[in-house]
């Protein structure tokens, strides 16, 4: 009898574990501009918003929350429309030379965004509107720290 109860309890636990939901649902909009407008409103972006078009077809967003305080997001296109999501917390780099942000995109790939006030060897893109040098690399799947080693930024635009 005890074995039967344990088997039933075990099956219920496995059933509950197997019923976890998929990715967090996101609000989707018919146009990119609607998704961006909602993102700006929801995240209370007060400064410049930059969209980076990457060679791996992703579109990362760099939002200036306030002077020298930034966070990274992503503009996503799905079958149902467009969405913009925040990927990192807001970091203030006012008292530093720069920062390196690791972020996981909506599809699960890992990227590293480097932001520096002065030119570095690995930051080839200068964003005049933010007075920052930027590089975005894909993280190597076999290491927490190293990246694949080439900048993915093909272009950027001020939103």
What pLDDT tens digit does each residue of the chain (159 aa) get? 665 544 444 444 443 333 333 345 678 889 999 999 999 999 999 899 999 998 888 999 999 988 889 999 999 998 889 999 999 999 898 888 888 888 899 888 899 989 998 888 777 889 899 999 998 888 766 655 545 567 888 889 998
Per DSSP, what are the bridge partners of residue 114? 100, 135
pTM confidence score: 0.77
What would the two tokens of residue 8 be? 């039933």
Which residues, at least 6 apart from 46, have a Cβ–Cβ distance to it below 8 Å? 64, 65, 66
Domain limits, the chain: 24-154
Exposed/middle/buried for residue 70 (C-beta within 10 Å: 0-12, 13-18, 19+):
buried
Give the pLDDT score at 1: 63
The torsion angles phi and psi of 37, rounded to 5 degrees, stand at: -60, -45
Task: Give first-to-last CA distance, the chain, whole Å.
Answer: 66
Tokens of 138: 């894909």
Q: What is the pLDDT of residue 21?
A: 36
């Amino acid at each position: 009898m005890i074995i039967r109860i344990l088997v039933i309890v075990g099956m219920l636990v496995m059933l509950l574990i197997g019923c976890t939901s998929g990715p967090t649902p996101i609000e989707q909009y018919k146009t990119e501009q609607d998704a961006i407008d909602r993102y700006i409103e929801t995240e209370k972006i007060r400064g410049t918003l930059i969209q980076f078009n990457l060679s791996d077809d992703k579109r990362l967003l760099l939002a200036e929350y306030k002077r020298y305080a930034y966070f990274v997001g992503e503009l996503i296109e799905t079958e149902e429309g467009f969405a913009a999501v925040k990927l990192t917390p807001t970091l203030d780099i006012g008292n530093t030379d720069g920062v390196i942000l690791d972020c996981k995109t909506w599809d699960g790939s890992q990227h590293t965004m480097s932001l520096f006030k002065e030119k570095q060897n690995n930051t080839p893109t200068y964003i005049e509107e933010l007075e920052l040098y930027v590089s975005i690399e894909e993280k190597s799947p076999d290491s927490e720290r190293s990246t694949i080693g080439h900048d993915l930024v093909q272009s950027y635009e001020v939103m």
